[in-house]
Amino acid sequence: MSKDILDLAGIGIGPFNLSVAALLDQHQHVDAAFFDRKPRFDWHPGMQLPGARLQTSFLKDLVTGADPCNPHSFLNYLVQHRRFYPFLSAEMPAISRREFADYLGWVAGRLPSLNFSHGVKSVTLEDGLFRLDFQAGQTPVHARNLCVGTGMRPHIPPACEALPSDRGLHCIHLMEQDRDFSGQQVAVIGGGQSGAEVMLGLLDGLWGQPAGIRWFSRRPNFEPLDETPFTNLYFSPGYVDTFRHLPEQRRRELVHYQKLASDGISPDTLRALYQRLYEYPLEHPGRPVPELLPGRSVYAVTDGSPMNLLTRNRVDDQFEEFQADQLLLCTGFDHSLPPCLEPIKSRLRGDSNGRPRLQPSFNLDWDGPDGRTIYTVNQGRFSHGIAESQLSLTSWRSAVIVNHLLGHEHYPVSEEGLSVRWGSGTPQTTAQNRQVPRRTAQMGIESF
């Protein structure tokens, strides 16, 4: 195998591609390299709020669900840091985001296949191979297969698009620098987990003492994440298999219906927030009490000092006006393929909404040369379901991708378990559905 041509080039090194890299680290005959534009690994540093906790079990780490003996597991991280027994005694139902970020950074530091400060500028096809050119002008690389893991783009609501980015600030950038909102009217837009965490930060005086705080949410109330057992089955391989066989329209409806299984607020966060709000007038006598405004869509924002917000109350269908000096947009993220894929985008087949169509093994449907596969992670919310943008199935998805790349089922990816029959057809195992082609030589090598 030529060392000049990679078997797999990964674009982006967030947790999802990091997991693919961690599994591939055990397959030394696969020549893989991953590239990220950042100078070092960092997990959403702009949202590392003090006390923020993972919404997912620590066992859903980069590798354990696929390969529990893999040395890049969270448990091995604890052991290597001499924290295993102290961790057990802490009896934490959810670990801190800071600790999980530290674990991810520890894994990143152990993988020789990672290359930072390598922003990918463009991907083209050259002599039947992918050619990656870099933003900083480093030597281009060629690869037989790609794994695109560039994450999601912060969503700015249309009403806020014209605002300067520091006045309509997306929360993902909040902790990137010191900020002081003292004396300002602050409006938090968005009633999900990020909105709740930002509210807690404001109440704790993390960014000074604002003159007023308002929290707007489109949802009719500040609603909890559903973490109960049957709902958690949406985050299982068996459910993903049923989901991806459904008609497109049905899948869209289900993603909408399952919103609170992935985007609700952790009950612990809700409780802490409620208690802080209850105590606020006692702790801060004379200060205006934060105002909670559920059921409102931000309809229009006029820039100025202060800004003027026109909202529509979805409960009684009335328009209301508010003023704010600072907007904190906790408005989520959009899925989109990165601009570097633009040169080959016309060759990708999309669904009726123009979203890239994903095959069972997370490979894009495209008309490229035989044996050239583009895998994606975090692009399949509407093809594989709501688990796609969460950590829950990270290691399983990586195992599916690595199996497909290797051309055989190296990692077990089918599941036996509770007999919930999601679909009405004959139940099939995950393995039957996935149809891993035996020895398809995705890497152009015959030696597996």
Residue whose CB is less far from ligand FAD, 149 or 407? 149
**Options 5, 26, 44, 280; binder of ligand FAD; rule CB under 6 A:** 44
The three-class DSSP label of residue 256 is helix
Q: Shortest Cβ distance from residue 117 to ligand FAD (Å)?
A: 10
Contact with ligand FAD (CB under 6 A): which of 25, 31, 36, 99?
A: 36
Nearer to ligand FAD, 39 or 112 (CB): 39
H/E stretch holding 15 reads helix 15-24
What are 168's two structure tokens? 């309509």
The CB density around residue 403, as the number of other CB atoms within 10 Å, is 22
Candidates 5, 27, 38, 252: give the one binding ligand FAD (CB under 6 A). Answer: 38
- Please report whether residue 15 would count as binding ligand FAD according to CB under 6 A: yes
> Restricting to residues 101-130, which ones interact with ligand FAD according to CB under 6 A?
119-120
C-beta closer to ligand FAD: residue 120 or 213: 120
Which amino acid type is present at position 6? L
CB 15, CB 102: distance < 8 Å: no
Q: Are strands 374-376 and 318-324 parallel, antiparallel or unpaired?
A: unpaired
Nearest CA among 339, 366, 324 for reference residue 216: 324
Q: How far is the CB of 120 from ligand FAD (least distance, A)?
A: 4
Residue (113 or 390) nearer to ligand FAD, CB? 390
Residues of this chain, 242-281, that bind ligand FAD according to CB under 6 A: none
| DSSP-assigned letters across all residues of 144-210 | EEEEE----EEP--GGGTTS-TTTEEEGGGGGGS----TT-EEEEE--SHHHHHHHHHHHTTBTB--
* DSSP string covering 60-108: SSSSTTT-TT-TTSHHHHHHHTT-HHHHHHH--SS-BHHHHHHHHHHHH
3-class DSSP state for residue 211? Answer: coil
Give least dist CB 175 to ligand FAD, A.
Answer: 10
Is 54 a binding residue for ligand FAD by CB under 6 A? The answer is yes
Is 20 a residue that touches ligand FAD (CB under 6 A)? no
Q: Could you tell me which stretch among 158-166, 203-211, 383-391, 419-427 binds ligand FAD (CB under 6 A)?
A: 383-391
Q: Does 74 bind ligand FAD (CB under 6 A)?
A: no
Span interacting with ligand FAD, options 66-74, 274-282, 384-392, 413-421, rule CB under 6 A: 384-392
Q: Which stretch, 65-73, 123-131, 311-319, 389-397, contacts ligand FAD (CB under 6 A)?
A: 389-397
340 touches ligand FAD by CB under 6 A:
yes
Q: Does 331 bind ligand FAD (CB under 6 A)?
A: no
- Which residue number, 36 or 325, has a Cβ lying nearer to ligand FAD? 36
The answer to whether 13 contacts ligand FAD (rule: CB under 6 A) is yes
Least separation in angstroms between CB 397 and ligand FAD: 11
Q: Which two tokens stand for residue 71?
A: 């040395």
Question: How many residues touch ligand FAD (CB under 6 A)?
Answer: 30
Q: Of the listed pieces 78-86, 145-153, 204-212, 320-328, which binds ligand FAD according to CB under 6 A?
A: 145-153
Rounding to the nearest 10 degrees, give the CA dihedral for residues 292, 182, 280, 217: 20
Per-residue binding letters, 155-184, with ligand FAD (x by CB under 6 A): -----------------x------------
Assigned token pair, 196: 């709740």
Place of tokens 């899925």: 335
Q: Which one, of 408, 15, 411, 393, lies nearest residue 238 by Cα?
A: 393
Query: How many C-beta neighbours within 10 Å does residue 5 have?
Result: 17
* Residue 107: both structure tokens together: 């894994």
- Residue among 9, 16, 103, 168 that touches ligand FAD (CB under 6 A): 16
Q: Does 335 bind ligand FAD (CB under 6 A)?
A: no
Residues 243, 251: contact at Cβ < 8 Å? yes
Among 10, 151, 190, 295, binds ligand FAD (CB under 6 A): 151
Three-state SS at 262: helix
Residues that bind ligand FAD (CB under 6 A): 11-17, 35-38, 44, 47, 54-56, 119-120, 149-151, 172, 338, 340, 377-378, 389-392
